[in-house]
Chains A and B, each alone.
Chain A
Amino acid sequence: MSESTTTCDEHGPPPDLEAQPVIVEVRNVNKAYLRGSHIIPVLQDINFDIREGEFLALMGPSGSGKSTLLNLIAGIDKVDSGTIVIGGVDITALGETELAHWRATHVGFIFQFYNLIPVLTAYENVELPLQLTGLTRAERREHVEMALSVVNLAHRMDHYPSQLSGGEQQRVAIARAVVTDPTILVADEPTGDLDRASAKEIMSLMCRLSRESGKTIIMVTHDPKAAEAAQVIRHLDKGYLNHANS
Chain B
Amino acid sequence: MRTLKLLIRNAFRHKLRTGLTILGITIAILAFGMLRTMVNAWYAGVEASSANRLVIRNSISLVFPLPLAYKDKIRQVSGVTLVSWGNWFGGVYIEEKNFFPNFAVDPRSFLALYPEYIIPDLQRASFLNDRKGAVAGRKVAEKFGWKVGDTVTLKGTIFPGNWEFTIRAIYRGKDRSVDETQFFFHWDYLNETIKKTAARRADQAGYYIIGIANPNLAGEVSTTIDAAFKNSLAETLTETEKAFQMSFVSMTEAILIAIQLVSIVIIVIIMAVVANTMAMTARERIGEYAVFKTLGFGGWFIAGLIFGESLVISLAGTAIGIGLTFPVAAAFADYLGTYFPIFFVERQTIFMDIAAGTLVGIVAALFPTWRAVRIRIADGLRRIG
Contacts and interface: CB of A to CB of B under 8 A. Distances in A.
* A, B: real partners: yes
Interface of A: 67-68, 71, 74, 76-77, 97, 100-101, 103-105, 109, 111-113, 115, 117-120, 124, 127-129, 131-132, 193
Contacts of A115: 287-288, 291, 381, 384
Contacts of A127: 2
B131 interface: no
B378 A103 contact: no
Given A71-B381, A117-B291, 11 more contacts: A67-B378, A68-B378, A71-B377, A76-B293, A111-B381, A112-B385, A113-B384, A115-B381, A115-B384, A124-B2, A132-B295
A187 B294 CA distance: 13
Q: Top 4 A-B pairs ranked by shortest CB distance?
A: A104-B296, A119-B9, A76-B377, A77-B378
Interface of B: 2, 6, 9-10, 13, 287-288, 291-298, 376-378, 381, 384-385
Contacts of B378: 67-68, 71, 76-77
Nearest to B296: A104
A74 B293 CA distance: 12
Given A76-B381, A115-B291, A119-B13, A101 B296 contact: yes
Nearest to A188: B381
Contacts of B377: 71, 76-77
A103 B294 contact: yes
A127 B3 CA distance: 12
Contact of B295 (A124, A128, A193): A128
Contacts of A119: 6, 9-10, 13
Interface hub of B6, B292, B381 (most chain A Cβ within 10 A): B381
Contacts, number: 62
A131 B2 contact: yes
11 contacts: A71-B377, A101-B296, A113-B384, A115-B287, A115-B288, A117-B288, A117-B291, A118-B13, A119-B9, A132-B296, A193-B385
Contacts of A71: 377-378, 381
Contacts of B294: 74, 76, 103, 109
Nearest to B293: A100
Contacts of B2: 124, 127, 131
Contacts of B298: 97, 100
Given A101-B296, A112-B385, A128-B295, A77 B6 contact: no
A226 to B, nearest CB: 18
Given A76-B377, A117-B288, A119-B10, A103 B295 contact: yes
Contacts of A100: 293, 296-298
Contacts of A131: 2
Contact of A120 (B6, B296, B381, B385): B6
